[in-house]
Amino acid sequence: MSAVRTACLRRRPLFLAAVLALAGPVAAESQSSVTPPNAQLASPAIEARVNALLARMTLEEKVGQLVQYAAHGASSDGGDAFAPNPETRTKVDSMALARKGELGSVLNLVGADTTRPFQEAALKSRLGIPLLFGADIIHGYQTIYPIPLALSATWDPQLVQDLSHMAALEATRGGVKWVFSPMVDISRDARWGRSAEGAGEDPYLGSAIARAYIHGYQGTDLADPQNVAASVKHFAAYGAAEAGREYNTTDMSDVRLRQVYLPPYRAAVEAGAATMMSAFNALNGVPATANPYLMTDILRKEWGFDGFVVSDYTAVMELTHHGIALDAAAATQKALQAGVEVDMMSHYYDTQIPALLKDGRLSMATVDEAVRRVLRVKFALGVFEHPYARAARAGESAAANHALARKAAEESFVLLKNADTQGAAVLPLDTHVKTVALIGPLADTASEMQGPWGGARHFDDFTTVRKGLEARMHASGGTLVYARGTDIASDSQAGFAEALKAASRADVVVMALGEAAGMSGEAAARAHLGLPGNQQQLLEQVVASGKPVVLLVFSGRPLVLDWADKHVAAIMAVWFPGAEAGNAIARVVFGDVAPSGKLTMSFPYTEGQEPLYYSTFPTGRPAGDADTRLPPSHDSTYVSRYIDAPNDALYPFGHGLSYTTFGYSGVHVSRATVPLAEANRADARNLVTVTATVTNTGKRAGTEVVQLYVRNLGASLSQPVRSLQGFQRVALQAGESKQVTFALGFPELSFWNAKSEQVVEPTQYTVWVGGSSQAVQKAAFTISP
């Protein structure tokens, strides 16, 4: 093991550990070292292979491992506004670099036939170091399943793990061994387009989903040919971009960074993530791609990360745009020294590192450590032994994959509202419905069903809403009448008459409205969150016809649905459901499956409320917060509120209806008091057990996501009015009850104090158990000094 790596291992303190002054609360007990989170990456056998290979490499071969290009290389005149700067105006021949052993990885080149020639070229180079083929596989490779925000709405980590494993199986048959997923950025601003790629606004749920992705992609053995290396992105706090605008800056306290934005990244590292991707944004004035606090102090020293960091697309070059580097050499020096090992598409590392070494601005030890980290992942992944696309194994089938994708879509749908003006449920549709009118620009568009970053190259295996409902109506002897009505972003009302005619013929109208796939995702920030184009006008005219309306909302983010909530009988968020969209929607709308999804981002009344999230902090003048234990203000005017909109969400975090109802009772804590010395240990688990009874009070079977929320009062820093600290999916027959149990320990009860130490203090805790962040059944306990 190298001296550099040995020293790095010795420097790693426990992430949770801290030592406070005797006058303050007792901190979590420290340990002298951290067990590496991915044993394969830290294995002495792999390290020996890495060092032996490194000793044989030329400088050009070393630098080659630190660069990534697309199959056709990079060029500043290739039409990409963010291609390399004029000072490096050269076209890169990726194949030629592979032949010379001066290319480490290739971007978004997929398919067994297309990856093989590049791999063959690399293996014929002097040292025969294989390439890594990395690709944006965000929600499926061949079988496209729901977008990540939709998957988070399932609150089903095992399902997320199964889906990501399925994607790995398909990707490795296409030669891909490295996926740029999961995105674990916390997003509390629906204007941010990349909300579609994450798990929403909450760090506890986000951490659970992050772990599931890593386990699914990487399995228990990275070297297994069916597994891939994950790249967790975007490190860090990219989801907090100001005003929800893509690539924008972020600025926050260290407490907020550690309490809210870092936990999902850390969970992914602890689950064994092999690689990380740096973010485009600056954090507190320091661009993430040149931020040693993030990538050295936290990621490596505190968390013990053994893998490598890749920049986002041209992010190293963009350091000059941020204004912290005057030229390519300075950008390269700052990024590499901060901890970015692989330069994606900037064409900076290969052109600048040799000169930086020559003039002493970079040390060979820094370069060697970067190369060592890349080789470590390649050896752990087994690409030296299995460099090519793998053959399919027995039992792998497209039909099984589609069945899993359909299950995911069904679980992801969130029933937001289901009551007409008399309070009667409209869904599920039953046998008396003989004619259904399907209206809307998203009713029969296969390509839109995949959503952003879908990656589908054909749509023959996609089932649109129209196809799904037609098959269902035909099977029951009914009729489906279809009218597009309008286009997604159109101002023309030419199709309105046809839509109204279709509605007049129907018993029920199903409207498929929302965003186009490209309106969410990267570079898709929206200042206005209503239905695009004239879809709102179409909706209002159809509702005015008097027919019951079921609104299916397609989007990659929360939308403003205030008018619909007041006037539409049933509303269901279906996100972008993937290849099985139509089949899944038909099964849920007709009641074969009851909806069980719950929101992971709050839906606003108006975009003026953004950023909007449930776990807000209290104020000295709260407006209607019954949990503050404060008396009402003497004058309700001078409280923290809007004068033209509510404070709360239209549909809050955790909200989601079923075709039955659920009741809660008997919330109980196992202990009234917990000694501080017992609670304030990093390894403390099961300090308090919370139990509650959930009952299916309706007439149909259903699945409820039972949620546990916690509030901490009396701490040295203000704490959120509520924070999620547990959840369970519980299936119940009509009339059935089950007792659910949650364990609270140091991870759930601790917080980050003003010294950036994670601690438990002698405070009072309230716990709620219920079906959303507005749960009312509660209990309490105390941490005693």
Q: 329 Cβ partners below 8 Å, 6+ apart?
A: 352, 355, 356, 361
CA distances from 539 to 485, 486, 502, 535, 549 (A): 10, 11, 13, 6, 9
Which tokens go with 211? 């772990």
Region of 382 please: left (phi>0), alpha (psi -120 to 50) or beta. Answer: left
- CB–CB of 258/237 below 8 Å? no
Dist CA 524 CA 150 (whole Å): 17
Q: How many Å apart are CA 598 and CA 600, to the nearest integer?
A: 7
For the chain, the residue count is 785
* Separation of alpha carbons 485 and 479, rounded Å: 18
CB of 732 within 8 A of CB of 663? Answer: no
Show the DSSP H helices in 174-300 as ranges: 203-218, 254-256, 263-270, 292
What is the set of active-site residues?
Answer: 312
Beta bridge partners of 674: 783
As given in the structure block, the two tokens for residue 165 are 């494993």
Question: Which tokens hold the place of 244?
Answer: 């929800």
Q: In terms of Cα–Cα distance, which of 568, 573, 574, 576 is closest to 550?
A: 568
Among candidate residues 590, 594, 557, the one with its CA nearest the CA of residue 451: 557
Rounded Cα gap, residues 114 and 116, in angstroms: 6
Render 681-727 in DSSP notation, one character per residue.
-TT---SEEEEEEEEE-SSS-EEEEEEEEEEEES-SS---S-EEEEE
| Phi, then psi, of 332 in degrees rounded to 5 | -65, -45
Per the structure block, which two tokens stand in for 448?
């839109």
SS (H, E, C) 459-512: CCCCCCHHHHHHHHHHHCCCEEEEECCCCCCCCCCCCHHHHHHHHHCCCEEEEE
Sign of CA dihedral 662, 666, 670, 673: positive
Judge whether 440 and 485 are in contact, CB under 8 Å: yes
Integer Cα distance of 172 and 349 in angstroms:
28
Per DSSP bridges, beta strands 414-418 and 105-107 are unpaired
Q: What's the Cα-to-Cα distance from 264 to each of 219, 304, 505, rounded to whole Å?
A: 18, 15, 50
Cα 550 to its chain centre, rounded Å, is 28
Strand 178-179 versus strand 132-135 pairing type: parallel
d(CA 308, CA 273): 10
Are the CB atoms for 302 and 254 separated by under 8 Å? no
Give the Cα separation of 760 and 255 in Å (integer).
14
DSSP string for residues in 580-641: THHHHHHHHHTTSS------SSPBPSSGGG-S--SSPPP-SS-SS-GGG--PPPSSTTSSS-
Q: Which two tokens stand for residue 234?
A: 């975007």
Nearest residue to 429 via CA among 471, 483, 469: 469
The residue written with tokens 């696309």 in the block is 389
8 Å CB contact between 559 and 535: no
**How far apart are alpha carbons 175 and 109 in whole angstroms?**
9
Burial class (CB in 10 A: 0-12, 13-18, 19+), 490: middle
